[in-house]
Structure 1
Amino acid sequence: MRKIGGSGYHHGNLRRALLDAALEAITEQGPAGWSLRELARRANVSHAAPAHHFGDKTGVFTALAAEGYELFADALERESHDFQRVGVAYVRFALERPAYFTVMFRPDLYRVGDPSVAVARDRARAVLVNGARTLTPGAVADRAAILAAWSCAHGFAHLWSSGALPESMGGDPEETARAVFRVLSGASNADGPPA
């Protein structure tokens, strides 16, 4: 273990502790409501530790975006057989990991061209494209089908997580998402959410 600054506190994995502190701060205060000093305080380390590991706040966001996209791609790949399943995995990720989701879809916060972000983001996009192929006849999904599928999944996840959906649309988010994605795929919606 490494001793950090003069605080006398020891961390086995300081980088992880700082990222966890950032996730906590984003959950509580949003992406703008904290500073590197706040992360240091939350992790109980020297105020210089976050800058040493990440450089600046953008560096923290970049690390979170890369990590978030990796986790996101993993979640989507487990359900990559059709868009209904991919869409539900998308929504589940947004609801279970809201701080990552917030950062990942705010490219103004992080270094979009960072290689670790780009690789993970491209993995997730590939699963979305493959899932969108199940929505259209033939082997190739056109750009409109891909955008429709992505917009539907992202829009639903955002509407649900922000509380913007009327209570009459409530219920179980995954069950409701399945019904929405069945409509997108042209399947019957006989057991969908109430109007």
Structure 2
Amino acid sequence: MTSERAYHHGNLRSALLERAWEVVDADGADSLSLRQLARDVGVSHGASARHFRDKQALLDAIAIEGFVRLNSALADAAAEPGSFSERFGSAGGAYVGFAVAHPAILSVMYTAKHHPDASAELVGLSHVSMAALVALVETGQEAGEIRPGSAEEQALVAFAAVHGVATLATDDLLNGVPWQDAAHATISFVWRGLSA
């Protein structure tokens, strides 16, 4: 069968992870079942267990994929042509956009990274975007566009503000304000605080 052939070619892990992403993205982590996942991709539970020993291992893998995608989106936004403030705004908008598009995935990402069994890969990937934000602030300081001071502290405040508006958007607490407008207002306010 196709699924068995895919398994023998090493594609079962990818198929399981892709289906798990879809389930969590649509219905949240509580709706994820390893047995149902195996049925969805047409293999035995035993075959799926060879790739994910338990649900937590699968959530870890979803979180890794989430951080890979988020980190890539942020890096792409920060590398766009334009002024430093525009690139800063694009990166912030990319974060909020990811959160709004994938709220359940983002929740899994942050929950899984704090789990005692979180893999070293997951923990490492979860720190990439903050390290990139610190580097972005340092670049802005070197260019004279961001005021002097601790780049780590400034990056933390910027992240807290952007993550905060993302959380308000995903929890539907913006009182009808479009998330794009709330994100723009928040990022603009943060930028004014950072700007030299």
TM-score by length of 1: 0.77
- Do the aligned partners of residues 28 and 142 (structure 1) sit closer, same or farther apart at CA in structure 2, a change above 3 Å counting? closer
The alpha carbon displacement at 1:17 in A equals 1.4
The alpha carbon displacement at 1:109 in A equals 5.3
- Do the aligned partners of residues 110 and 63 (structure 1) sit closer, same or farther apart at CA in structure 2, a change above 3 Å counting? farther
2:41 corresponds in structure 1 to 43
Q: Which runs of 5+ in 1 are unaligned?
A: 188-195
Contact 1:50 1:56 in 2 (8 A): no
**Percent of aligned pairs sharing the same letter:** 31
Q: Which runs of 5+ in 2 are unaligned?
A: 79-83
Q: Secondary structure at the match of 2:51?
A: helix
1:88 corresponds in structure 2 to 93
Contact 2:13 2:51 in 1 (8 A): yes
Matches of 1:165 and 1:78, distance apart in 2: 27
**Would you say how many aligned residue pairs link Structure 1 and Structure 2?**
178
Contact 1:40 1:47 in 2 (8 A): yes
Matches of 1:118 and 1:18, distance apart in 2: 22
2:61 corresponds in structure 1 to 63
1:1-150 equivalent positions in 2, closer than 5 A: 4=4, 10=6, 13-80=11-78, 81=84, 82-106=87-111, 107-108=113-114, 111-112=117-118, 114-133=119-138, 134=140, 136-138=146-148, 140-143=150-153, 145-150=154-159
Matches of 1:54 and 1:73, distance apart in 2: 24
1:190 corresponds in structure 2 to none
Instruction: Give per-residue Cα distances to partners, 1:5-47, cap 9 Å, x unaligned.
Output: xxxx855621121112211221333212222112112222212
| CA RMSD of superposed structures (Å) | 2.7
- Do the aligned partners of residues 78 and 125 (structure 1) sit closer, same or farther apart at CA in structure 2, a change above 3 Å counting? same
Greater alpha carbon shift after TM alignment, 13-22 vs 90-99: 90-99
The alpha carbon displacement at 1:105 in A equals 1.4
Contact 1:61 1:110 in 2 (8 A): no
Matches of 1:110 and 1:89, distance apart in 2: 29
Matches of 1:27 and 1:20, distance apart in 2: 10
Contact 1:66 1:117 in 2 (8 A): yes
TM-score by length of 2: 0.77
Instruction: Give per-residue Cα distances to partners, 1:57-110, cap 9 Å, x unaligned.
Output: 111111111111111111111122553222111111112333431211113557
